[in-house]
Amino acid sequence: MERVALAIGICAASITPAFAQPADPLGGAAEIRAQLTARNYTTLSSEASARIDRIATRIGQHFSKGDLLIAFDCVTQRAQVARAGAVATQADKTAAINQRLANLKSISQLEVDVSRAEVEKAKAELAIAEAAASKCEIAAPFNGITVEQKAQAFQYATPGQPLLEILDDRSLEVELIAPSRWLAWLKPGYGFQVHIEETDKTYAAEITRVGGRVDPVSQTIKVFGEIRGPAAELMAGMSGRANIPAPK
């Protein structure tokens, strides 16, 4: 069962006589503003200097964890891997021959040790080449959706350049800025309701965790929660009003 969370912020003017009108979907109790945000989101950036060969996703398209999102033109990096692999193979065979010669007392132990060191050096060079080649593709770190594309195919990318913004649209998180005096009763599992304006629906929700620090200036604290049950129509960025009444 999918669970969706909410980000909620205080609105000082939200507790007004207007909320006491019968038409209010939350029934007119004390309310605060609410906004849906994604629990998992990130900006994918380039780790290498290379031309973008292909962008396999577009804004609004969903993807699964591990799917290829961006591929770079890395002919040079792949050639370096092949060369380093050949050097490693050569070093390994040389070391094996030298060991057999040492067993026959034909060469010194020093020559054997040097050839073994060359093997380790070649393996390290191969690992470096493979690490560089691994940056030629960017895979999805989680299930999600593309929300912004900052680069185009065939564009030359530099290290650190932002390429894609993605988020997990099925794991929406709560960020509630609540008065610190609520800590006396606002605990994980505490139920409340939230009315989302974009869907014009009211959802049952619950607090999942409470922040670890009170802001000494505003006397507020972050509180997190989520909607109970599936709500596939909800999206990050939607907003509304949350009703979190104090216990009687």
68 token code pair: 């290829």
The SS3 assignment for 48 reads coil
Residue 17's pLDDT is 39
pLDDT of residue 5: 53
Residue type, 132: A
The pLDDT value given to residue 45: 95
Most confident of 2-6, 163-167, 174-178, 184-188: 163-167
Please report which helix (H) or strand (E) contains residue 62, including its range: strand 62-63
CB 126 within 8 A of CB 85: yes
With b for 16 or more beta-carbon neighbours within 10 A and e for fewer, the 102-121 pattern comes to beeeebeeeebeebbebbee
Q: Would you put residue 231 in left (φ > 0), alpha (ψ -120 to 50) or beta?
A: beta
Residue 30's pLDDT is: 63
Helix axes 75-103, 109-134, angle to 10 degrees: 160
Confidence of residue 16 (pLDDT cuts 50, 70, 90): very low
pLDDT at 175: 80
pLDDT of residue 19: 37
Q: How far is CA 165 from the centre of its chain?
A: 10
The whole-number average pLDDT for the span 155-181 is 89
The answer on pLDDT for 22 being more than 70 is no
Check residue 23 and give its pLDDT.
Answer: 47
pLDDT level of residue 240 (50, 70, 90 thresholds): confident
- Please determine, for residue 84, whether its predicted confidence score (pLDDT) is greater than 70: yes
State the CB neighbour count (10 A cutoff) for residue 134.
13
CB 159 within 8 A of CB 201: no
Mean pLDDT of 59-65: 95
Q: What are the strands of the beta sheet with 68-73, ordered from one edge?
A: 137-139, 68-73, 50-55, 156-157
Please report, for residues 30, 114, 236, 242, the alpha-carbon distance to residue 11 in angstroms, rounded to integers and kept in the order given.
Answer: 11, 72, 19, 10
